[in-house]
Amino acid sequence: MKKPIDSQMHGIIDYAFAGIQLFGPPVLGLNTKMTKTYKVLAATFTAVNAITNTPVGITKSISMATHQKADAAFLATLSALTISRIVRNESKALAFHLAFLGIALVNYALTDYNGKK
């Protein structure tokens, strides 16, 4: 089965995800630690996306295969963050986090990391 998200679309989605990570927590009034943590995640997400060899990458220094490994590490980090106090002790923070994690997992599962574009 061909996966529907190509490298260009994945890159665009990643930039959108970075915006959600950056602006979502403060707009929703989430706790300060959660907001700071998601700012760091947004910066990391943006940096990896910007150096990936895609039509929307800036320097094209890493391959999509390497980007996929970074995405897997990012998903593992998000999964681990689920049990942290900054997430689990506030219902709005937990809801935001689980929604973001779920969407990120779907993006990962539907991306064709081996395709060309």
Decide if pLDDT at 1 tops 80. Answer: no
Which pLDDT value is given to residue 117? 53
- pTM of the predicted structure, to 2 decimals: 0.92
Which pLDDT value is given to residue 97? 98
* Closest of 83, 94, 107 to residue 25, by C-alpha: 94
User: In this predicted model, which residue has the larger pLDDT, 82 or 117?
Assistant: 82
